[in-house]
Amino acid sequence: MDKATDRTGTIRVAINGTELAVRVSGTGAPLMLLHGWPHTGRIWDGVRPARRRRIVPDLRGLGDSAPADDGFDAATAAADLIGLLDFLEVETVEVAAIDASVPTAFLLAMRHPERVTRLVLMEGTVPGLAGGFDPPPWWFGFHAVPKLPETLIEGREDDYLGWFLRRVDDPELRTALVDAYRGRRRLGAGFGFYRALDRTAELVRAALAGGRLHVPTVALGGNVVGERLHRQLEPITDNLRGEILERCGHIVPLDRPDALTDLLAG
């Protein structure tokens, strides 16, 4: 594995056939924070619990990580993160994940329960489990169509992605998030996580055929996913707590950083 550090303090780690950008700060028990779509690790900037070593990667192909054209299923993404933890010499870690990274965090804990002290999953669902959206939101199908979304959206990123980010109050952050997905290849990487959902569902079902989720887990809902994630996890999880956050939209780290900071404090 190779490493480089830029002027912003971002570590770039060559691993598992790609290069991940990760920001590491603080001291204490390790805490890995995973973003969703169309986000980057910057959505976690306001969540800085005391006595925690924050590990905030940009997922494969997204944000400041290297462009990528494949490997968006949850198993490959989980392997990326295990490699990153190994590089950082982190033996065990608490994992908080939102939206598109929820399946990755779930499969990481299923395959490597000895590495995960606790899961905090929010505003996302796990493909392959009953109890999610029925039917899924309209953009799931649109994003899963090969090449079509990139063709239609390239050059219109501000309008399209801006609709999903319309409740982000900080205009500089909103612009930075849109810029992270600008252009056909970056758009395609974001849509790649949707195109891999069927494969991820197969991986989830295969993991559960060998047992249950033993890692202590918290399922947090805002005003989009709500209780659906808790409903999915309840039949297959040994130690589960669910909570619906008041005054909270979909991007929980931006809407309720106070609640997350308290929950994740060391």
Q: Tens digit of pLDDT for each residue in 118-147?
A: 999 999 999 999 999 999 999 999 999 999
**Alpha-carbon gap, residue 205 to 210, rounded angstroms:** 9
Distant-in-sequence contacts of 106-110, Cβ < 8 A, 24+ apart: 106/74, 106/204, 106/213, 107/74, 107/75, 107/78, 107/200, 107/203, 107/204, 107/207, 108/78, 108/81, 108/82, 109/213, 109/215, 109/217, 110/204, 110/207, 110/208, 110/211, 110/213
Q: DSSP assignment, residue 59?
A: P
Handedness of CA 186, 191, 192, 193 (dihedral sign): positive
Q: Which amino acid is at 55?
A: I
pLDDT of residue 5: 54
| Bridge partners for 18 per DSSP | 15
Give the pLDDT band of residue 4 (cuts 50, 70, 90).
low
With a cut of 60, say whether residue 159 has pLDDT above it.
Answer: yes
Confidence class of residue 3 from pLDDT cuts 50, 70 and 90? Answer: low
Arithmetic mean of pLDDT, 33-46: 98
In the chain, alpha helices (H): 74-87, 102-111, 138-144, 148-153, 157-164, 171-180, 184-195, 197-209, 228-233, 252-255, 257-264
Q: How far apart are CA 206 and CA 110, in angstroms?
A: 10
What pLDDT does 1 receive? 56
Q: Could you tell me the pLDDT band of residue 7, with boundaries at 50, 70 and 90?
A: very low
Predicted local confidence at residue 59, as pLDDT: 98
Instruction: Output b/e per residue, 16-27; b: 16+ Cβ within 10 A.
Output: bebbbbbbbebe
Average pLDDT of the residues of the chain = 96
30-47 mean pLDDT: 98
pLDDT greater than 80 at residue 17: yes
Is the confidence at residue 20, as pLDDT, over 60?
A: yes
Percent of the residues in the chain that have a pLDDT greater than 70, as a whole number: 97
Assigned token pair, 22: 């990760």
| Percent with pLDDT over 90 in the chain | 95
pLDDT in tens, 202-252: 999 999 999 999 999 999 999 999 999 999 999 999 999 999 999 999 999
Distance CA 177, CA 71 (A): 22
Q: Which two tokens stand for residue 67?
A: 């462009």
pLDDT category of residue 9 using cuts at 50, 70 and 90: confident
Distance between CA 223 and CA 249 in Å, rounded? 5
Give pLDDT tens digits for 67-111: 999 999 999 999 999 999 999 999 999 999 999 999 999 999 999
pTM over 0.85, yes/no: yes
